[in-house]
Amino acid sequence: MSYTLIPRRTRILLTTMLAGLLLSGCGVNNIPTYDESAKARWSDVQNQYQRRADLIPNLVETVKGYAAQEREVLTQVTEARAKASQIKVDASTVTDPAKFKEYQDAQSALTGALGRLLVTVERYPDLKSNQNFLALQSQLEGTENRISVARRDYIESVRAYNTELKTFPGLIWASTLYRSYKPMETFTVAEDLAKPPTVKF
């Protein structure tokens, strides 16, 4: 036999290096990678919701200028926005089911209130043709679209992460190296369907 061609120690070393290479291809790094990716997508979602919240005061003021009597709808929007802004969200919200649901519900409520406001605006042709309002309205539509895209990206990244936790070989790593990594929450309300109606010209 030719075992003596390669000394035992070298063979062990080479086998170890090979094992290391194979392991790195076996997905031991997947869980943290997917975790980081999902958290990045989550902060994108938050940014877009924040962007929407920032547009609202201006929108309310503009509408008040033409339709001050629609006090109820305007108050609803302002209150919904305040409620949504009060909820403190950060990276840890994604693994906290109660917190996540609270945030999701608050944002859905705001979407609903905005929808009602835009329906009300239909009755005021002067307001509808106001340049300021048109600019705000297009910004709002753009932001709603961005929210939609960000949510979809987030849902997809959470899906990848949760799947990795549950399937082989991620399952092995999850129960050994990554015991502190919990599955993430995903959006349940189909906000795409609850999009506020757009004003037709």
Partner 1 sequence: MFFQFRTAWGRAILGVLLCVAAFAAYALTFPELTGRVVDDAGVLDPSTKAALERKLAEFETKTTGQLVVVTLKSLQGTSIEDYGYQLGRHWQIGQKEKNTGALLIVAPNERKVRIEVGYGFEGTLTDAVSRLIIENSIIPRFRANDFAGGVGRGVDDIIQAVSVDSEEWKARAKQRPDDQPGLVDVLALVFFLFIVFMIVRSVAGQGRGYAQTGAGSRRGARGPIFIPIPGSWGSSGSSWSGGGGFSGGGGSFGGGGASGSW
Enumerate binding residues for partner 1 (CB under 8 A). Answer: 1-3, 5-6, 10-11, 14, 17-18, 21-22, 24-26, 44, 134-135, 138-139, 141-143, 145-146, 148-150, 201
Beta carbon nearer to partner 1, 86 or 201: 201
Say which residues have a Cβ less than 8 Å from residue 60's Cβ, sequence separation at least 6: 74, 77, 78
Nearer Cβ to partner 1 (104/143): 143
Angle of the 30-67 helix axis to the 71-86 helix axis, nearest 10 = 160
Q: How far is the CB of 161 from partner 1 (least distance, A)?
A: 17
Least distance between partner 1 and beta carbon 179 (Å): 25
Calpha distance 127→142 (Å, rounded): 20
Minimum Å gap between C-beta 71 and partner 1 is 27
Under DSSP, is residue 134 helix (H, G, I), strand (E, B) or coil? helix
Nearer Cβ to partner 1, position 33 or 175? 33
18 or 194: CB nearest partner 1:
18
Phi, psi of 163 (to 5 degrees): -65, -40
Could you tell me the smallest distance in angstroms from the CB atom of residue 85 to partner 1?
22
Which residues, 6 or more positions from 163, have their beta carbon under 8 angstroms from its beta carbon?
A: 170
